[in-house]
Amino acid sequence: MPAHLSEYWRAFIFLNHSRPASGFGPAAIPFSEMRQYLDEYAITGDDRDDYIHFIRALDAELLRFKPSEGGEK
């Protein structure tokens, strides 16, 4: 992974543990959790938008490949 993207990866890994429990498989990382993380680390402006973009993109990829509870993928 390029070094300039590692900060987004670290944020994603940290936030990955804040997914809500769901009987239908993994759920997306809540925006409120992203916002709290970004506030905690004082990430603002365009940087904040970049974090949200990359975290959501990584999350979408994980959800696309992670099998749902009881389902096949």
19-53 per-position pLDDT tens digit? 887 777 789 999 999 999 999 999 999 999 999 99
Task: Give the residue from 66, 53, 59, 47 showing the smallest Cα distance to 13.
Answer: 59
**pLDDT value of position 67:** 63
Q: Considering the domain boundaries, does residue 46 fall inside one? A: yes
More confident residue, 19 or 68: 19
The answer for residues whose C-beta is within 8 angstroms of residue 68's C-beta and 6 or more apart is 24, 25, 26
Q: Considering the domain boundaries, does residue 36 fall inside one? A: yes
Q: Considering the domain boundaries, does residue 12 fall inside one? A: no
Q: Considering the domain boundaries, does residue 43 fall inside one? A: yes
Distance from C-alpha of 12 to C-alpha of 58, rounded to nearest angstrom? 7
pLDDT higher than 80, residue 14? yes
Statement: the pTM of the whole predicted model exceeds 0.85: no
The 8-class DSSP code of residue 26 comes to -
For 51, the domain range is 27-67
Mean pLDDT, all residues of the chain: 88
- Token pair listed for 23: 């009987």
Distance from C-alpha of 62 to C-alpha of 45, rounded to nearest angstrom? 26
